[in-house]
Amino acid sequence: MTYSEVYAQWKADPEGFWMEAARAIDWDRPPTKALSTVGDGLYEWFADARVNTCYNAVDRHVAAGRGEQTAIIYDSPITQTKRQISFLELRNRVASLAGALRAKGVEKGDRVIIYMPMIPEALEAMLACGRIGAVHSVVFGGFAANELAVRIDDATPKAIIAASCGVEPGRIVPYKPLLDGAIEQATHKPEFCVIFQREQQVAKLIEGRDVNWHGFQYGVEPADCVPVEGNHPSYILYTSGTTGQPKGVIRHTAGQLVALHWSMKNIYNVDPGDVFWAASDVGWVVGHSYIAYAPLIHGNTTVVFEGKPVGTPDAGTFWRVMSEHKVKSFFTAPTAFRAVKREDPTGAHIPKYDLSNLGQVYLAGERADPDTITWAQDKLRVPVIDHWWQTETGWAIAANPLGIEELPTKLGSPAVPMPGYEVHILDPEGKPMKPGELGAIAVKLPLPPGTLPTLWNAEDRFRKSYLASFPGYYETGDAGLMDDDGYLYIMARTDDVINVAGHRLSTGAMEEVLSGHPDVAECAVIGVADPLKGQLPLGFLCLNAGCDRPHTDIVAEVVQQVRAHIGPVAAFKLACVVERLPKTRSGKILRATMVAIADGTDWKMPATIDDPQVLEEIKTALQALGFAK
């Protein structure tokens, strides 16, 4: 079937389409129907089924006689370690960890926070939670203690599973002090913490609270898979919104299983047994869906890569891993390719490796610039697929579905909507726009299986953030257009979210930190264009009257504060002091105009501006930082 036929088939009978896709999953009790409406604008998928994620990701492959197949390849150039774990070994390790968690009182529905770097034990921890019906929430290692504390208070976990440390190029990142600091700061206290000790830095355990990963599994009965309802949460993943309070995106068990399984052949074009590699991090949605769950559910081998595209040890690392492990489909963020291209523009490392197994490459997480795509096409000689999705959706809204049909590539476009997503471009009143016109991108409800049903503990916020602007639609927060052929173009965010090196960050959260500085009266953070990371945060500070401290000191202090409160991943290093911020007459800060001035793109003087002169002052400040050329 062609893409158009598959999409039309879904549109004609969504219920039948997803019930058919559901046949790929091993159910304890199969669903009698796909979609249930549970409230105004609220939907659930396969709610009356009973199923277990870990069984589908691990045990069923062992039961089918494929226990000897490699499930996880761990390749860590940063610690110079390589390891392979078969499905059988994975099953035994996960069952043992799940048994130990259960023996300490973790039950179905309890939350468990996982704070781990890119090591196989992170996946094992996720799967162990799923095995006993516990709900995990993985926190990215580049976040500071404060961010972890916010998540502890929101998810109220019974336990936290953490590693003693992460390893970044040139430095060890001690996780344990961050964990201890976060627990101290949080109001909610977990009952216990499981610490996986890494040899790079062994952590001191707190007696009575911390247990050693290995020790606490000793002599414990392994746990079997506990079937849960189809609408039981598999995990909560926090993502950036407009404020410093992140949004807890929930993923339901059955929808995730069905949608992710469907995506592996149809979008990523792999068959069970093929090696799939997503070079991301388990702390992000790409890591959840395409390092941990989808490849394992589909019976693929997944690669857990602990390294960077460059510097571990060089810009040939990606190609070395692909050739050594016979990777068929590779997924990364455009920024990673830009980093490689900057160090090795001619691709001199590539011919050193046998890339004959590589079938295709996928890019997501941020806008894929045409230069990066053409560079990758030219150097790798395989299809390079831009696809668009979000933490909220868990899998691609738009893609070029290679497993169905290879559609022509249009540079700058992540191609066409996937079955399940009816995408519309709307004007501010919610009216459909014509092909080629820029508007808000919205998806007609219901969203397909595998997408967020609501936010953790925050149904009102869910409604306000996603459902309120356009009744009957899910608002993606992205602006863009659709051409005459139905190809989408994603142009910008409509909110205060920015994308730095493929990492989604909230400028609002950074502003909250800057406002906390005693000398700062008012501030604004915008995302400015950066050739490597896509965007970089840049802060404007207005100081309290009478403050005569050197501006360089204040800038250095706020940079340090953002690192300490949000984490190094915020990459907040640019700030300047200005007299005033440009505002409308009603007091709204004109952030979009500031971004346009910084990036040197066309802009019009906003009709509602209070004092046009302020923009000149902003331009001068930006020029001093090397922007607004």
Contact residues toward ligand COA (CB under 6 A) are: 117, 141-142, 166, 168, 173, 280-281, 284, 286, 308-310, 333, 335-336, 339, 365, 500-503, 533, 568-569, 571
Q: How far is CA 542 from CA 511, 571, 575, in A?
A: 12, 21, 11
Residues between 388 and 447 with contacts to ligand AMP, criterion CB under 6 A: 388-391, 414
Q: What is the 8-class DSSP label of residue 171? A: E
Least separation in angstroms between CB 475 and ligand AMP? 11
Collapse the DSSP code of 306 into the 3-class scheme (helix H, G, I; strand E, B; otherwise coil) and give the result.
Answer: coil
Q: Rounded to an integer, what distance in angstroms lies between the CA atom of residue 280 and that of residue 270? A: 19
Site pattern 492..521 for ligand AMP (x: CB under 6 A): -x-----x----x-----------------
Please give the angle made by the CA atoms of 94, 95 and 99, to the nearest 5 degrees.
115
The answer to whether 463 contacts ligand AMP (rule: CB under 6 A) is no
| Residues 349 and 314: beta-carbon distance below 8 Å | yes
Contact partner, 336, from ligand COA, ligand AMP, none, Cβ < 5-8 Å per class: ligand COA
Token pair, residue 566, equals 């949000």
Q: 459-464, long-range: CB within 8 Å, 24+ apart, which pairs? A: 459/42, 461/247, 463/41
Cis before residue 446, ω within 30 degrees of 0? yes
Q: Residues 6 or more apart from 329 whose CB is under 8 A from it?
A: 268, 269, 270, 274, 276, 277, 359, 360, 361, 362
Residues in CB range of 560: below 8 A, 6 or more apart: none
Our CB check for ligand AMP shows the closer of 133 and 439 to be: 439
User: Of residues 67, 283, 365, 449, which one binds ligand AMP by CB under 6 A?
Assistant: 365
**Contact partner at residue 295 from ligand COA, ligand AMP, none, CB < 5 to 8 Å by partner kind:** none
CB of 533 to ligand AMP, least distance (A): 13
Does 369 contact ligand AMP by CB under 6 A? no
Strand 70-76 to strand 81-86: parallel, antiparallel, or no bridges (unpaired)? antiparallel
Output the smallest distance, CB 477 to ligand AMP, in A.
Answer: 6
Q: Does 490 bind ligand AMP (CB under 6 A)?
A: yes
Complex with ligand COA: residue 89 or 314, whichever CB lies closer? 314
Of 183-191, 218-226, 339-347, 363-371, the segment contacting ligand AMP by CB under 6 A is 363-371
Question: What does 583 interact with, of ligand COA, ligand AMP, none (CB < 5 to 8 A by kind)?
Answer: none
**CA-based nearest residue to 593, from 618, 627, 611:** 618
- What is the DSSP annotation of 307-323? S-SSSSS-TTHHHHHHH
Q: What gap in Å lies between CA 172 and CA 459, rounded to an integer?
A: 39
Cβ proximity of 198 and 164 under 8 Å? yes
Q: What mask, x for binding ligand AMP by CB under 6 A, covers residues 284 to 303?
A: -x------------------
499 makes contact, choosing from ligand COA, ligand AMP, none, with CB < 5 to 8 Å by partner type, with ligand AMP
Is 99 in contact with 217 (CB distance < 8 Å)?
yes
* Minimal distance, residue 331 CB to ligand COA, in Å: 8
Give the number of residues in contact with ligand AMP, rule: CB under 6 A.
21
* 306 binds ligand AMP per the rule CB under 6 A: no
Least distance in angstroms from the C-beta of 476 to ligand COA: 17
Q: Give 98 or 279: the residue with its C-beta nearer to ligand AMP.
A: 279
The binder of 493, among ligand COA, ligand AMP, none, by C-beta within 5 to 8 A per type, is ligand AMP
Task: Provide the minimum distance between the beta carbon of 502 and ligand COA in the complex, in angstroms, as a whole number.
Answer: 3
* Residue 306 structure tokens: 């602990």
Residues in 210-239 that interact with ligand AMP by CB under 6 A:
239
Residues that bind ligand AMP (CB under 6 A): 239, 285, 364-368, 386-391, 414, 476-478, 490, 493, 499, 504
